[in-house]
Structure 1
Amino acid sequence: MSLTHLAGLLADPTRAAFCTALLDGRAWTAGELARHARVAPSTASEQLSRLIAAGLLAEERQGRHRYVRLAGPEVATLIEDLASFPVPAESAGRSSPAPGSLREATRMSAEARARTCYDHLAGRLGVAVRDAALARGLVADEDGPALTGRGRSWLAELGAELPARAGRPGGRPVVRTCLDWTERRSHLGGAFGAVLFRTALDRSWVERIGTGRALRVTPDGERALRDLLGVTL
């Protein structure tokens, strides 16, 4: 796909809204995305078809329902990196819009504290976890992010496993950093970041808030983060 084609696809506000919503890592129906972007179902269907044809989204059908999700973690990284790229207000033609309602402001505040970035932790929580992993020697960042021997032992003690193909040719990187669009600092992605998030979700250390990307850290999660990583929220 050419750069101009990609830029044209993501420049459309409706298509951009779809991709941003799908950063929660879940599959959405076309109707749910239409309501989220406040467009007609026919418009949503047309725009989703263009994103699927371009390979940015993957489609699944169950009965009469059509589900779509981001095609993979590399697409999520692209969307998050573009969202975090600092564009001066004078270049954008206007400053960033303020939240239009108390509900919107509450959602944005919750997402800034803790949220999903596709399948890993983001927001202040995600950045704090990265800082703790570096400080404890679980991850090294001298020649690019890498999981250390101590990090692998820590994962084993946690009872978590990396996917078999992680780090192999054609497989997902074990660790990668992802620039956080609210914190303007990096959080952890890759297979390691995904395993941490899945473990936190399965053990109820974090809970989803509603249908968006925001997460809430539970009391059990606060204790686990403090005991395992020294993270105090």
Structure 2
Amino acid sequence: MHREELQTFKGWFKQYVQGFYSDDPAVQAGIRLKEEHTRRVCTAIVGIGRSLDLPPEDLHLAEAVALFHDLGRFRQYATYHTFNDRRSENHALLGVRELERAGVLAGLPEEERNLITMSIEYHNLRDLPGKLPERPALFARLIRDADKLDILQVFTGSLERKEAAPNPLLNSGLPDTPGYSPVLIRNLLQGELCNYSDMKNFNDRKLLMLSWIYDINFPWTLAEIRRNGHVEKILDSLPGTEEIRRVGERLHIFMASRSA
């Protein structure tokens, strides 16, 4: 992808998002949250791509994937006033439909169109489909890493501020009640990703996000997670039980092994 094409996409995206701006403060807060998230994910994906020595054309393509990865979030929030896919619809598929409806990618070669839409479609799956070809797998993993990195940054920032009540935009509306679900502890101790369907409260949301560490694909991303102390910040906000201590130990061993 050429730089000029990426700049055209950025201009279109800006106009598209502004179409969802609202005088309703609650709606506007959700729209701006995802607009700012998109900007940071674009920066992160370029950082990962540069760490892999990707050529400029692939860096532009990766940034276009990041630019559009959450496109469906804007119509989702304006329509349903939630970012919970289970209570509305799959935001990744909604975003692909929005792109197709607007014909935004029509001028790109077929391979680039497919890479962008496939990467969007796969970015929020628990697991990537098996046996993906090398190039689609690369871009899917790039956006999954960049997306998780920014969500972790925003989430741990809210924990550090010790907000009186969890931001419903960040915790899926889960109750901030004591305890946590044993199934998520088992997942983490076995080195597995947790399932959204198993979350019952805000602590479960924290445990699910800790399990994302097992799905980080690139050393650059893991180094940023370690540098910012995201794992430690989430662990410190959880109950001080022996189970949580073992989860922390398991995660630190895993990160050390991946870094080595």
Both proteins in one fold, TM over 0.5? no
Give the TM-score taking structure 1 as reference length: 0.30
Higher percent of residues as helix: 2
TM-score, normalised relative to structure 2: 0.27
Structure showing the higher strand proportion among its residues: 1
